[in-house]
Structure 1
Amino acid sequence: MNKLNAYQRVALLTVLATLFLILVGGLVRAAGAGLGCPDWPKCFGVWIPPTNVADLPAGFDPTLFNPVHTWLEYINRLIGVLIGFLILLTFALSFRYRKTDPIITISSAAAFVFVLFQGWLGGQVVRSGLEAGMITIHMVMAMVIVNVLLYATYRANRERWFYPLDAKNRSFFKKIGITLLAFTMVQLILGTQVREMVDVVKNTLDLPREMWLDTENLLYRIHRSFSWIVLILAVVLFFKIKKEHVQGIFRRLGITIVMLIILQMFLGLGMERLGMPGVFQLLHLVSVAVLICAEFLFVLISNPSSQTSLRARTRA
Structure 2
Amino acid sequence: MQINSLVKITLVFTLCVILMGAYTRLADAGLGCPDWPGCYGMLKVPTESHELAQVQQAFPEHTVETEKAWLEMIHRYIAGTLGLLVLLILILSLKTQDAPKKLPMFIAGLILFQAALGMWTVTMKLMPIIVMAHLIGGFALFSLLLLLYLRNMPLRIPGGDPTARKLAGFAAICIGVLLLQIMLGGWTSSNYAALACTTLPFCEGNWVDNLSFAKAFSPFQGEHASFEFGVLDYPARMTIHVAHRIGAIITAAMLLYLAFKLIRDAKSNIMRNAAWLLVGLVILQVVLGVSNVVLNLPLGIAVSHNAGAALLLLNLVFINYALWRKA
What TM-score, normalized by structure 1, do the two folds share? 0.83
The partner residue of 1:146 within 138, 142, 146 is 142
Q: What is residue 179 of structure 2 aligned with on the other side?
A: 185
The Cα offsets for residues 208-250 of structure 1, whole Å up to 9 and x where unpaired, read as xxxx997982222221112112222233233223323645332
Q: What is residue 302 of structure 2 aligned with on the other side?
A: 281
Q: What is residue 203 of structure 1 aligned with on the other side?
A: 229
Indicate how the Cα distance of structure 1 residues 52 and 90 shifts in structure 2: closer, same or farther if over 3 A, else same.
same
Q: What is residue 112 of structure 2 aligned with on the other side?
A: 116
1:115–1:145 contact (8 Å) kept in structure 2 = yes
The Cα offsets for residues 34-64 of structure 1, whole Å up to 9 and x where unpaired, read as 1111101121111122135773222224753
Is 1:243 matched with 2:264? yes
Is 1:15 matched with 2:11? yes
Q: What is residue 251 of structure 2 aligned with on the other side?
A: 230
Residues in 1 aligned to 2:103 and 2:50: alpha-carbon distance in whole angstroms:
47
Indicate how the Cα distance of structure 1 residues 217 and 44 shifts in structure 2: closer, same or farther if over 3 A, else same.
same
Q: Which amino acid aligns with 1:122?
A: G
What is the 5 A alignment of 1:1-316? 6-51=2-47, 55-56=51-52, 57=54, 58-61=57-60, 64-98=63-97, 100=98, 104-158=100-154, 161-164=155-158, 166=160, 168-198=162-192, 203=229, 217-244=238-265, 246-303=267-324, 306-307=325-326
Indicate how the Cα distance of structure 1 residues 296 and 245 shifts in structure 2: closer, same or farther if over 3 A, else same.
closer
Residues in 2 aligned to 1:14 and 1:241: alpha-carbon distance in whole angstroms:
30
1:157 to partner: Cα distance: 0.6
1:52–1:67 contact (8 Å) kept in structure 2 = no
Residues in 2 aligned to 1:204 and 1:228: alpha-carbon distance in whole angstroms:
26
Q: Which amino acid aligns with 1:50?
A: P
Indicate how the Cα distance of structure 1 residues 168 and 249 shifts in structure 2: closer, same or farther if over 3 A, else same.
closer
Unaligned runs of 5+ in 2: 197-227
Residues in 1 aligned to 2:193 and 2:246: alpha-carbon distance in whole angstroms:
22
1:114 to partner: Cα distance: 1.1
Q: What is residue 208 of structure 1 aligned with on the other side?
A: none
Unaligned runs of 5+ in 1: 206-211, 309-316
1:257–1:294 contact (8 Å) kept in structure 2 = yes
What TM-score, normalized by structure 2, do the two folds share? 0.81
1:148 to partner: Cα distance: 2.0
The Cα offsets for residues 98-157 of structure 1, whole Å up to 9 and x where unpaired, read as 4x35xx211011111111111121111100111121101111111222222222111101
Residues in 1 aligned to 2:95 and 2:167: alpha-carbon distance in whole angstroms:
32
Q: Paired residues, what number?
A: 291
1:288 to partner: Cα distance: 0.4
Residue 58 of structure 2 aligns to a residue in which SS? Answer: coil
Q: Percent identity?
A: 24
Q: Which amino acid aligns with 1:65?
A: V
RMSD: 2.6
Residue 218 of structure 1 aligns to a residue in which SS? Answer: helix
1:27 to partner: Cα distance: 1.4
Residues in 2 aligned to 1:252 and 1:215: alpha-carbon distance in whole angstroms:
41
Q: What is residue 209 of structure 1 aligned with on the other side?
A: none
1:28 to partner: Cα distance: 0.9
Residues in 2 aligned to 1:213 and 1:246: alpha-carbon distance in whole angstroms:
50
More helix by share: 1
2:191–2:237 contact (8 Å) kept in structure 1 = no
1:214–1:220 contact (8 Å) kept in structure 2 = no
